[in-house]
Amino acid sequence: MPSSPSVESQDAAAPEPHHQGELSSVHATLNCVNMLMGVGILSVAFALNMTGWVPGISMMVLFALTVNYSAKLLVKCMAKPFPVAVDSESEREPLDIGELAFGHTGRNVISAIFCFELFAAAIAMIILMADSLEALFPGAVPLTGLKLIATLVVLPTTWSKSMKLLSYASVVGILATCGLGIILVIDGLSVSTSPGSILVPAETLLWPQSLSRLLMAIGLLIVGFDGHAVFPAIHRELKHPESFNSIMNLTYALIATLYIGMGSLGYCMFGTGTLPEITQNLATVPEYNQLLTYLILWLTAINPAAKYGLVTTPIHTQIGELLDGVWRTDRTEGPPFDSLGWRLVSRTLVAFAILFTSILVPGFHHVLSVLGSSFSFTIAIIFPILCFLVLFGAEIPLTERLFHLAVLMLALVFAVLGTLGAFIEH
């Protein structure tokens, strides 16, 4: 997507003079790449199976360009003068932008969307853990039982208040993603019969077999590009904030290359038989090195467990703030919502709500599709562009306003069609 003069011709806004960031451009790029290397990469090959080569690759390139651009818009909005209540740029977050553009109601709506997105991401993690355990121990325990086991394993990670402690565990996810790519290549070169071979590619398609399959894949293809809830925080911590645009360009170039490369590799190896999670395919080829297969399945099962606590923490925070507001309406003393007992009860209830929903919607790809179509489009494209138009619409030329409106309408169409496709295919 061509860059608008309003963003590319200006440096990303620097933080207030009193706030000195510590992140170099290299560290910031690594943080962004690590954050975007999520569970969505497991379904890219399946998405290509749904779309065929031409629409699938085209949409991934389009989405990467668009979310790269919208991230810059979001940070530009962060530099807009805020009310006295939020007068320090070093303290701002995306919810503050929503409040500045659309008032307190806008803040509440964006907060709800963030929570629903994270709730759906947690559901996908439970399903992924259960699917990986089922591949490791086929037929040993019913799938519902495996989801319960997965929930009990990750539940203690939600009780801690230490974000620093939880963040150390996320390195497992990075190792799992890198390991998956390496093992895919090793496995693909180790056999010379299809399916499962790089040397003898499986049958693939240029175009989708049906419109519903194409629409469902929309959410799968964008979900891995959404990191906009965190980008403003990374921008705040940069030593040189003017380098943010370059960091975004490099980040999305690397992520798009990784996703397209991994997806293409998996689709070439398994063709029309590609399963919703590429790791499921690895367990179906007996000629593969079984030690490597078991290793990647265990890493894939452990990966969500390492991230589950981080993903659900904002949900618990919002619940606590909501109940705190209700409590203080009639009482002056502080509520017990920060106590250990409260954390154990409330976070356990949220975990079992996630478990119950994962049983109702059992397909990993269905959850990711809804997550991408309904939430990623909203947070990564629609929200930044709407805020930019509200906050800067009067300052930019008519051609730029029309450009942003066109991108906004296109994102709305993709979001609606992708969400409908996910439910129709389900």
CB atoms within 10 A of CB 318: 17
Structure tokens at 258: 């990784």
Cis amide prior to 304 (ω within 30 degrees): no
Residues in a beta bridge with 238: 23
Q: Smallest Cα–Cα separation from 278: which of 262, 301, 258?
A: 262
**What three-state secondary structure class fits 243?**
helix
Domains of the chain: which residue ranges?
A: 20-327+335-425
Q: φ, ψ for residue 23 (rounded to 5)?
A: -85, 130
**What three-state secondary structure class fits 238?**
strand
Distance CA 207, CA 58 (A): 12
Say if residues 17 and 90 touch (Cβ distance below 8 Å): no
Say if residues 60 and 221 touch (Cβ distance below 8 Å): yes
Residue 21, pLDDT score: 66
Helix (H) / strand (E) containing 146: helix 143-154
Q: Smallest Cα–Cα separation from 248: which of 60, 41, 75?
A: 75
Distance CA 370, CA 422 (A): 6
Its CATH class, for the domain covering 20-327+335-425, is mainly alpha
Residue 329, pLDDT score: 53
Q: Smallest Cα–Cα separation from 391: which of 99, 3, 84?
A: 99
Residue 15, pLDDT score: 41
Q: What is the DSSP letter of 23?
A: B
Cis amide prior to 195 (ω within 30 degrees): yes
Residue 319 CB contacts under 8 Å (≥ 6 apart), including other chains: 346, 350
Helix (H) / strand (E) containing 258: helix 244-270
Residue 2, pLDDT score: 45
Residue 265 CB contacts under 8 Å (≥ 6 apart), including other chains: 45, 181, 184, 185, 188, 198
CA-to-CA separations, 69 to 66, 174, 194, 245, in angstroms, rounded: 5, 25, 40, 9
Q: What is the pLDDT along the chain (426 residues), one digit of tens a residue?
A: 444 444 544 444 444 444 556 778 887 887 788 778 877 888 999 999 999 999 999 999 999 999 999 999 999 988 887 664 544 554 567 777 888 888 888 888 888 888 888 888 888 889 989 988 988 888 889 999 999 999 999 998 888 765 455 555 556 667 777 888 888 899 999 999 999 999 999 999 999 999 999 999 999 999 989 888 778 778 877 888 889 999 999 999 999 999 999 999 999 999 999 998 898 898 889 899 989 888 888 888 887 877 788 778 778 777 877 776 655 555 555 555 566 677 788 889 999 999 999 998 767 777 888 888 888 999 999 999 999 999 999 999 999 999 999 999 999 999 999 999 888 765
pTM for the predicted model, two decimal places: 0.82
Rg of the chain (C-alpha set)? 22
Structure tokens at 277: 């999670």
